[in-house]
Chain A
Amino acid sequence: MSDKPVPRPSEDTAEFWDTCNDGRFLVQRCTDCGHERFYPAAVCPNCWNTEWEDIELDGNGSIESFTIVHRAPTEAFEEETPYVVALVTMGSDMTVMANVLAEPEEVSVGDAVELTWEDRDGQQLYQFELANR
């Protein structure tokens, strides 16, 4: 059992976290303006339409930026240091923060990554690993 934070789903995000448990990463596309958004929300931040469709991303992305964390924010992360926190661009320019599960010195901006999953107290948490390794 990890002491690391487990996402606590809200009304807006429950479905997203449920589908993570099926190994699927969904984002929302506005049925009016077509704007794609992440994190899940009941309102399109582009046009305020309240209807959307879910689309599934294929799990391929690239590292927009990253940092190697040496000083953990909380005790729960201390044993993991140094670890990589990255901003990953997926789909149509959607940015997602997650860890890249790799040796820190292997990671560079622009690297291709693919989705993987971490079991955190029964919740599947999206993570990334370097592609083609």
Chain B
Amino acid sequence: MWVCDGITHMGSTQQVAVTGIGESPIGSLPDMDSINLYAAACLEAVDDAGLEKDDIDGLVTGYSLVDPKLMHSTVVTDYLGLNLAYNESLRLGGATPFAGVCHAANAVRQGQCENVIVAFGDNRQTGFKKGDGVSSLATEVGHPEFENPFGPMVPSLYALIAQKHMAEHGTTAEELATVAVTCREHAAMRGAGQQTEPIDVNDVLASDMISSPLHKLECALISDCAGAVVVSSSEAAEETPSPIELTGYGEGHGSEYIHRRDELLQTPAAESGTTAFEMADRTPDDVDVAQLYDCFTITPLLLLEDLGFCEKGDGGQFVRERGITTDGDLPVNTHGGELSYAGAGVFHILEAVRQIRGDAAETQVDADLALAHGVGGVLSTNATLLMEGW
């Protein structure tokens, strides 16, 4: 927002709402392909918003690794028979739905559309079994000439960050494992999602080592699933049953390849967070609950630091001393995250909405301000969302 002499420049500052959330079934769903999953999530989100098919005039979708499309959102548009004024296929890895909400909000503020579905999902649990999917994911992430000939697994790229964090800041394996334990605790409390059996730190550290220091239980699930939200204009939101306000959002983008980082432990979450907090006129201290992308246990630690919840290097200490459970200083991933709920970041956005609505059941906290943050690549691209009551 930039206001000068009462005239607003650089786009409208009208309120933007999230009016609906929806999700497909989650787990191993061999009878649903990627588009089926997208469709299920979109229908539920629009229904949740109290809107009809014809109210939808915008769509942002991600992509499918299992079933790639040249223009993914246009395929979904075709499948759902939508009539759009705004249409975007977005491909920013795990940051996709988070950045998608930013773009949808901008399109709404510019008056291009009224109600935008932002959806993300894939049938990776089923699809990767058919081909060589995990390997193809592995060879999509690293540099084909200057990284992949050396055999890093995707977790290895995050493990390199974790190992340096441990060496430089004294972060412990137990602190990293606590992130996984907390996510599982929340999923267990809710009794929803893919993994709801409680685990402790010893279970995490006894699980198979994938790429040191990361164990199997420190790696995100791979799921068949999709999630969707509806982003609406202020006027459209007034007609819906339970809108919440998107008060701040921001993006931060860095290098794709880990060997190109100037600072291995510094992520563009610092930029996306600053932008979002400034827009919302809030600070990290105001945040009551944070849904932090958790592809691996190291990720939320870095995000706690770069989003300003603690000093650089103190992420592990924050988890241990201040706590990220529902009775901690900053409850994190109250649905269970990608480590326990489902292997897609879009559910972090849905959970932030639930917390503000008061619909988070057993893990509901007293939340006036909820943060959701997504990461794509190897902490390469980042987007931060802030939500408050309407």
Contacts and interface: CB of A to CB of B under 8 A. Distances in A.
Nearest to B134: A73
Contact of A65 (B144, B151, B164, B260): B164
A85 B156 contact: yes
Contact of B152 (A4, A95, A96, A97): A97
Contacts of A104: 212
B149 A120 contact: yes
Contacts of A96: 146, 259
Interface in B113-160: 132, 134-135, 138-139, 143-156, 159-160
A122 to B, nearest CB: 14
A69 B211 contact: yes
Nearest to A6: B149
B145 A8 contact: yes
Nearest to B166: A109
B160 A85 contact: yes
A83 B151 contact: yes
Given A38-B259, A99-B150, 5 more contacts: A5-B148, A39-B145, A64-B264, A70-B210, A87-B164
9 contacts: A4-B151, A13-B145, A39-B146, A71-B211, A73-B151, A87-B160, A87-B259, A109-B163, A109-B168
B383 interface: no
B206 interface: no
In the A-B complex, list the 3 residue pairs whose CB atoms are closest, starting with the nearest: A73-B138, A67-B159, A65-B164
A127 to B, nearest CB: 8
Contact of A67 (B160, B260, B261): B160
A58 interface: no
A83 B212 CA distance: 10
B126 to A, nearest CB: 20
B160 A7 contact: no
Contacts of A69: 151-153, 156, 211
A9 interface: yes
Interface residues of B, number: 38
Given A64-B264, A67-B159, A71-B208, A97 B147 contact: yes
Nearest to A7: B145
Contacts of B146: 7, 38-39, 96-97
B1 interface: no
A77 B149 CA distance: 10
Given A80-B151, A83-B151, A85-B156, A97 B258 contact: yes
Given A67-B163, A69-B211, A110-B167, A85 B148 contact: no
A132 interface: no
B212 A68 contact: yes
Interface string B190-216: 000000000000000000111111100
B156 A67 contact: yes
B163 A66 contact: yes
A109 B170 CA distance: 12
Interface string A72-96: 1111110010010111000000011
A19 interface: no
B233 to A, nearest CB: 39
Of the listed residues B134, B146, B155, B159, the one surrounded by the most CB atoms of chain A closer than 10 A to its CB is: B146
Given A9-B145, A73-B138, A85-B150, A65 B210 contact: no
A125 interface: yes
B45 interface: no
B217 interface: no
Contacts of A70: 208-212
Contacts of B379: none
Nearest to A109: B167
Contacts of A76: 151
A67 B211 contact: yes
Nearest to B212: A68
B161 interface: yes
Nearest to B152: A85
Contacts of A80: 151
A49 interface: no
Contacts of B155: 71
A29 B162 CA distance: 31
B317 to A, nearest CB: 19
Contacts of B261: 95
